[in-house]
């Protein structure tokens, strides 16, 4: 009985330490559940009717999918991509030029078990990749070929779009690969333009987020810090910052960037084991506060700052919840 009692006490202490002590903030919408294991959301804003915007979310397993949800959290089956082999992270970008007269919005995600990234047009969900683009092809170690995180970057210099991709494990330098999306004779391809980014080797790097306007890429070196680099290849590979360490219990996970005019805004990062989110200044990367959004073990998160509908008049923050679903919040509730 003594051993059982000690075990129970330790278990309760662990649970207590992992629960946020901050006032809970309830979601406005909880999505329908997925089949396996949710991971990362991305939000596409419908330019014609913001109330018909879509939240995409990965369900990572061998029989995985990228689910499409409406703003009520209902699954949009005709826009959901199924029969994927462990899709991990997902991102969207706007205005990819297919030819002189046609530009499309795009959805990109990693498909880990096939060692590739996928690319679809939004909202018609047509594949643009011929079945997938292999990544990390020059690596010999299998674990270093497994893509996890992805962030899309649209350069303000020439409107080129890049995919910045992370992986399950890798070297201490040049951990990320950056690919340029190009069109050659009406066929979309990817060209490797650089390798960059440090890795501590302690855990893994999954969350990647890009600030198009300011030209920065952030990624979570999970047990160490949030790393910051220039997203523009021409600006070099020097690390600009490694911040946030002291504000996390253990794993630093999903990153969402809330953008406002004049470079104002916030970087919202999942403090996974503590069950809360840390908010940093977009301009200075200084810690502002933490909030308890009642999610469990959040991996990915995403945010948009434009009004969408009556439920999300101030923008939308979406976060993965460890119950096979996602939580949606009016952004004001997160930031107030």
Distance between CA 148 and CA 217 in Å, rounded?
A: 16
Q: Tens-digit pLDDT profile for the chain (336 aa)? A: 334 444 334 344 444 455 688 999 999 999 999 999 999 999 999 999 999 999 999 999 999 999 999 999 999 999 999 999 999 999 999 999 999 999 999 999 999 999 999 999 999 999 999 999 999 999 999 999 999 999 999 999 999 999 999 999 999 999 999 999 999 988 999 999 999 999 999 999 999 999 999 999 999 999 999 999 999 999 999 999 999 999 999 999 999 999 999 999 999 999 999 999 999 999 999 999 999 999 999 999 999 999 999 999 999 999 999 999 999 999 999 999
Residue (of 224, 195, 221) closest to 206 by Cα position: 221
Distance between CA 164 and CA 192 in Å, rounded?
A: 10
Predicted local distance difference test score (pLDDT) of residue 10:
39
The CATH number of 85-243, from 3.40.50.2300, 2.120.10.30, 3.30.465.10, 2.40.160.20, is 2.120.10.30
CA dihedral in degrees (22, 247, 89, 230; nearest 10)?
A: 140
Domain with CATH 2.120.10.30 in the chain: 85-243
Whole-angstrom distance between the N-terminal and C-terminal Cα of the chain?
48
Length of the chain: 336
Cα angle 328, 285, 295; round to 5:
25
pTM of the complete model: 0.94
Rg (CA), the chain: 19
Q: Distance of alpha carbon 126 from its chain centroid, rounded?
A: 21
Q: Which residues pair with 192 in a beta bridge?
A: 179
Rounded to 5 degrees, φ, ψ at 277 are -125, 135
Predicted local distance difference test score (pLDDT) of residue 12:
40
CB contact set of 88 (below 8 Å; sequence gap of 6+): 39, 40, 58, 60, 109, 110, 111, 112, 147, 148, 149, 150, 206
Positive or negative CA dihedral for 116, 107, 59, 250?
positive
Does residue 333 sit in helix, strand or coil?
helix
Q: Which residues pair with 150 in a beta bridge?
A: 165
Predicted local distance difference test score (pLDDT) of residue 160:
98
Q: Which residues pair with 120 in a beta bridge?
A: 107, 127
Predicted local distance difference test score (pLDDT) of residue 18:
56
Residue (of 78, 68, 27) closest to 317 by Cα position: 27
Rounded to 5 degrees, φ, ψ at 233 are -55, -35
Residue (of 163, 172, 157) closest to 193 by Cα position: 163
Predicted local distance difference test score (pLDDT) of residue 206:
95
């Amino acid at each position: 009985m003594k051993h059982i009692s000690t075990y129970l006490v330790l278990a309760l202490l662990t649970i207590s330490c992992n629960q946020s002590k901050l006032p809970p903030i309830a979601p406005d919408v909880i999505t329908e559940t997925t089949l396996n294991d949710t991971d990362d959301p991305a939000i596409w804003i419908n330019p014609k009717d913001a109330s018909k915007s879509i939240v995409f979310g990965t369900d990572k397993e061998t029989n995985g999918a990228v689910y499409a949800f409406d703003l009520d959290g209902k699954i949009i089956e005709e826009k959901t991509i199924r029969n994927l082999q462990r899709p991990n992270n997902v991102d969207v970008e706007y205005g990819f030029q297919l030819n002189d007269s046609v530009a499309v919005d795009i959805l990109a995600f990693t498909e880990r078990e096939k060692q590739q990234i996928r690319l679809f047009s939004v909202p018609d969900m047509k594949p643009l990749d011929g079945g997938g683009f292999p990544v990390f092809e020059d690596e010999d170690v299998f674990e270093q070929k497994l893509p996890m995180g992805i962030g899309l970057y649209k350069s303000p210099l020439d409107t080129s779009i890049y995919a910045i991709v992370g992986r399950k494990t890798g070297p201490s330098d040049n951990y990320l690969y950056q690919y340029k999306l190009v069109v050659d004779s009406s066929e979309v391809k990817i060209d490797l333009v650089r390798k960059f980014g440090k890795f501590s080797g302690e855990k893994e790097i999954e969350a990647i987020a890009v600030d198009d306007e300011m030209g920065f890429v952030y990624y979570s070196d999970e047990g160490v810090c949030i790393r910051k680099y220039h997203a523009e290849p021409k600006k070099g590979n020097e690390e600009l910052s490694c911040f946030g360490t002291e504000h996390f219990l253990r794993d630093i996970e999903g990153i969402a960037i809330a953008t406002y005019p004049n470079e104002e805004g916030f970087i919202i990062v999942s403090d996974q084991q503590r069950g809360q989110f840390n908010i940093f200044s977009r301009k200075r990367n200084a810690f502002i506060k933490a909030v308890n959004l009642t999610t469990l073990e959040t991996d990915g998160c995403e945010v948009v700052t434009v009004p969408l509908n009556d439920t999300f008049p101030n923008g939308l923050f979406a976060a993965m919840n460890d119950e096979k679903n996602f939580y949606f919040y009016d952004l004001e509730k997160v930031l107030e």
